[in-house]
Amino acid sequence: MAVISYIDAVTMAIREEMERDPKVFVLGEDVGKKGGVFKATQGLYEQFGEERVIDTPLAESAIAGVGIGAAMYGMRPIAEMQFADFIMPAVNQIISEAAKIRYRSNNDWNCPLVIRAPYGGGVHGALYHSQSVEAVFAHQPGLKIVMPSTPYDVKGLLKAAIRDNDPVLFFEHKRAYRLIKGEVPAEDYTLPIGKADVKREGEDITVITYGLCVHFALQAAEKLAGDGISSHILDLRTVYPLDKEAIIEAAAKTGKVLLVTEDNKEGSIIGEVAAIIAEHCLFDLDAPIKRLAGPDVPAMPYAPTMEKFFMVHPEKIEKAMRELAEF
């Protein structure tokens, strides 16, 4: 099995889907000739032509809205937001339109649209190239939000998103793009949206997280294993709707739960995870639910000192995991 990078898995999934289904196409800023500012769509323009790899005018609401229109018609558009931070002009289209089309038409219309957006910090991206925006969309029934951590998951989940009959927001961690490599099968496969994945089995503490933080948690778990602390790590993969069964099972397994996100703490995805655990796991808990997240400031600052302070990193996770293990 080939070892490829996270971003190559993105490109691979899109290419295979475009080859498989002529209704699949890509639209966004700089996705064509340039192949994307991160090169996520590299080579697609050459392979499929400008008709199916469309460089759009710089207008996010139109990228989402045109994608929605095409999806309602029956196409399978993959719209790219250049940075998750720039999705805000398209929020009305995503929340008022895409999320509600099936429901408001009583199942007459649907909207099989994928919106991809690179998110996340630790890349010296400052306030507007570092944000995690998933929580903005994570109380919008009708949307699905996928945030994979590994190249294997990227390929399987992006293909599933493209084939899904409802709108999917697919957030890719931009620092993971070239940092994270992994084995990815050449053949076609999909992974179920809405299912979390146990990335490490353990007995003493449970860490529930998603995206790049999964890798930080795995690194920390490796260190703690040397001290005899066994960590169970659940990767949410889909952050909306959440995989309640998997969350409850993972929380109940050790009774000590650490929730990690690199988003601001208050109102983040992990608050909802904590609520699910609180509702279902009272008798299994052996410690208060612990959260590790970014500080409640508007976004990640540019200066390296402040950026590091904001970011979740393996040392922070390790410290939190150790405290929990010792509780």
Partner 1 sequence: MAIEQIKMPQLGESVTEGTISNWLVKVGDRVNKYDPLAEVMTDKVNAEVPSSYSGVIKELIAAEGDTIAVGEIICSIETEGGEVVTAEAPAVESKPEALEGTADSVSAAVRPNKARYSPAVLKLSQEHGIDLTRVSGTGAGGRITRKDVLQWISAAGEKAAAPAAGQAVSQEKGQSAVLNQPAAVPAANVPLAAGDIEIPVTGIRKAIAANMVRSKHEVPHAWMMVEVDATNLVEYRNSIKDEFKEKEGFNLTFFAFFVKAVAQGLKEFPQMNSMWAGDKIIRKKDINISIAVATDDALFVPVIKNADEKTIKGIAREISELAVKVRNGKLKAEDMQGGTFTVNNTGSFGSVQSMGIINYPQAAILQVESIVKRPVVMNDSMIAVRDMVNLCMSLDHRVLDGLVCGRFLARVKEIIENMSKSTISIY
Partner 2 sequence: MTEKRHEVLGLSDEKVLEMYETMLLARRIDERMWLLNRAGKIPFVISCQGQEAAQVGAAFALDREKDYVLPYYRDMGVVLTFGMTPRELMLSGFAKHEDPNSGGRQMPGHFGQKKNRIVTGSSPVTTQVPHAVGVALAGKMEKKDFVSFVSFGEGSSNQGDFHEGANFAGVHKLPVIFMCENNKYAISVPIEKQLACEKVSDRAIGYGMPGFTVDGNDPLEVYKVVREAAERGRRGEGPTLIETVSYRLTPHSSDDDDRSYRAPDEVAKAKTQDPIITFGAYLKETDVMTNELEKEINHRVMKMVNEATDYAENAPYAAPEDALKYVYGN
Alpha carbons 231 and 104: distance in angstroms, whole number: 44
Contact 217, 198 (CB under 8 A): no
Closest by CA to 256, choosing from 276, 277, 272, is 277
Nearest to 188 by CA among 159, 224, 165, 166: 159
Q: Which is nearer to partner 1, 153 or 243 (CB)?
A: 243
CB-CB neighbours of 178 under 10 Å: 13
Q: Does 245 bind partner 1 (CB under 8 A)?
A: yes
Kindly determine how many residues on this chain lie close enough to bind partner 2 according to the rule CB under 8 A.
Answer: 44
Cβ atoms 215, 149 nearer than 8 A = yes
Could you say whether residue 162 binds partner 2 (CB under 8 A)? no
Among 57, 106, 283, 305, binds partner 1 (CB under 8 A): 283
**Site stretch for partner 2 (CB under 8 A), options 28-36, 65-73, 151-159, 229-237:** 65-73
* H or E stretch at 168: strand 168-173
How far apart are CB 244 and partner 1 at their closest, in Å?
5
CB of 115 to partner 2, least distance (A): 13
Residue 133: CA atoms inside 13 Å, Cβ hemisphere, count?
26
Nearer to partner 1, 181 or 244 (CB): 244
232 is catalytic: no
State which of positions 23-42 bind partner 2 (CB under 8 A): 25
Tokens of 120: 């996340």
Tell me: does residue 47 bind partner 2 (CB under 8 A): no
User: Which one of 59-67, 131-139, 254-262, 276-284 is the stretch in contact with partner 2 (CB under 8 A)?
Assistant: 59-67
Distance of alpha carbon 201 from alpha carbon 318, whole angstroms = 17
Considering beta carbons, is residue 66 or 321 the nearer one to partner 2? Answer: 66
Q: Report how far Cα 183 is from the mean position of its chain's Cα atoms.
A: 19
Please select the residue that binds partner 2; options are 1, 105, 189, 308, rule is CB under 8 A.
105
- 115, β-bridge pairs: 79, 169
Q: With CB under 8 A as the contact rule, which of the stretches 120-128, 229-237, 240-248, 265-273 interacts with partner 1?
A: 240-248
* Contact partners, residue 122, CB within 8 Å, separation at least 6: 130, 175, 212, 262, 307, 311, 313
Select the binding partner of residue 244 from partner 1, partner 2, none (C-beta < 5 to 8 A, by kind): partner 1
Query: How many whole angstroms separate alpha carbon 300 and alpha carbon 85?
Result: 11
C-alpha 107 chain-centroid distance? 27
Draw the binding track, 166-205, toward partner 2 (x: CB under 8 A; -: no contact): x---------------------------------------
Does residue 109 belong to the site contacting partner 2 (CB under 8 A)? yes
Residue 35 identity (one-letter amino acid): G
Binding of partner 1 by 100 (CB under 8 A): no
Q: Which residues are catalytic?
A: 129
Question: Which residues form the interface with partner 1 (CB under 8 A)?
Answer: 244-245, 248, 280, 282-283, 285
